[in-house]
Amino acid sequence: MPNDALTARLLTPQLSPLAESGRWYVAFSGGLDSTVLLHLLHSWCQQHPGAPGLVAVHINHGLQAEADVWQVHCQRFCDSLGVELLAHTIAVDTEGRGLEAAARAGRYQVFEGLLTATDTLFMGHHLDDQVETFFLRLLRGAGLQGLAAMPASRSLGEGALQRPLLAFSREQLAAYAGTQQLSYVEDPSNADIGLDRNFLRQQVLPVLATRWPAYRGNVERAVQHLAMAASELGQQQIGPEPTLGDWGDPGLPLAGLSEGREDLQLALRTWLNGLGLAMPDRSLLVEFVRQLREAGLTASPRLDCGSYALQRYRGTVYLLPAPVNWQPPEELTLMPGQPQMLAGVGELELVPTQGAGLALAPGQALSIRWRRGGERCQPVGRQQGLSVKQLLQEAAVPPWWRQRLPLLFTGEELLAVADLCLCRSSLLREVPPAGESNWILSWNRNSLVPEV
């Protein structure tokens, strides 16, 4: 653990390799940790011309009476630095999980939606957070990957997550805030020892410190050893070779795996570790494995891990596309030359073809809608119509993609079912006249699978 006073210069070894990346986002709650991190990154960027643009992201959960006051404080602090602030108000959905886990899932969904492939999100977790996470996971019976606690960096959505303060203590952050005269908010829930982390922080760890004053550094070294062991284990192939589904989803085939509970758990953990994903809670994973073993072959057990989800389909467990809790948006307008990029769906575009397609007048716009049930289509090349539901079943479209499937309309007439088929319609044209083109829907969905 560094004993030097915390300065922006000390972060240079971590930040320099990221200087050529896209935007730098900072998860900014307004508390001590994120305030110090934002100030350090701002100082570093000022000292390094050409550094990426810095953007603070504040999530207003609405869970505290002071939530709106905190957001105003965050805006004023960012204004004082000349840093852009993106503030998001979210509704925390606690269905099937605790309040803390639900709030975390909501935050991460926002973060993942912001990041492109070249962007980085910074979080202010520090050494004390790391130590607390280690003990909490130890007391919950976590495995090797879980005891490795929080990685300094990992993939997040399409971008990357960085925690540059993991080697520095809360005491060092507080000293920096005092020296720089930084104001920050105090969350009253931090005093609630009914929460496991607060009880550990306020009641248990101070007792350890009286006997083992250097326990933080010792735990940090142990965490690093565990992370190295977990990484080496992850490089070993345990279980079947991972695959990509026809729709671009990372998957783990179950064929050839022993139905023993431990074998399934180990194979899933190894696979998730290779993807750079946080391990699910052990009890949730045990229940998921039970369902995989006992549910019928036509069943599709699902494991929701907050920031990502897994589901079995036709003998393979797949990582579902982000965001996990995707909801159909409003109707979109689509014209040639004006592609639409939609989170959770992908890029939709009308592209020219000299084969069968749609005959569009100059400037003609079509509509993109989502399944409501009951839609029917007569695919080109078939003698009879059928429901879209039947069509998707025949095409083996995974369940999680069926609700995301874009349908192309003009008025109330269905023209195409995504890029699966053209429908018999008033705009269908087999061959365009010389010098003209027909148009078909192009759907680039694979780019929406989280980068891992």
What is the tens place of the pLDDT at every residue in 348-374? 999 999 999 999 999 999 999 999 889
Q: Give the tokens for residue 166.
A: 């993991």
pLDDT at 224: 87
Q: Which residue in this structure is represented by tokens 């050409």?
A: 50
Domains of the chain by start residue, with CATH: 8-231 (3.40.50.620), 243-319 (1.20.59), 332-448 (no CATH)
pLDDT at 391: 93
- The larger pLDDT score, comparing residue 94 to residue 105, is at 105
pLDDT at 94: 55
Task: Tell me the average pLDDT across 443-452.
Answer: 56
Q: pLDDT-derived band of residue 47, with 50, 70 and 90 as boundaries? A: very high
Cβ–Cβ < 8 Å for 253, 315: yes
Q: pLDDT-derived band of residue 257, with 50, 70 and 90 as boundaries? A: low
**Residue 206 pLDDT exceeds 60:** yes
- The larger pLDDT score, comparing residue 154 to residue 297, is at 154
What is the tens place of the pLDDT at every residue in 210-221? 999 999 989 989
What is the tens place of the pLDDT at every residue in 379-425? 998 988 999 999 999 999 999 999 899 999 999 999 999 999 999 99
pLDDT at 299: 87
pLDDT at 450: 42
Q: pLDDT-derived band of residue 2, with 50, 70 and 90 as boundaries? A: low
- The larger pLDDT score, comparing residue 277 to residue 234, is at 277
What is the tens place of the pLDDT at every residue in 157-189? 889 999 999 999 999 999 999 999 999 998 887
pLDDT at 449: 41
Region of poorest pLDDT, from 8-12, 64-68, 298-302: 64-68
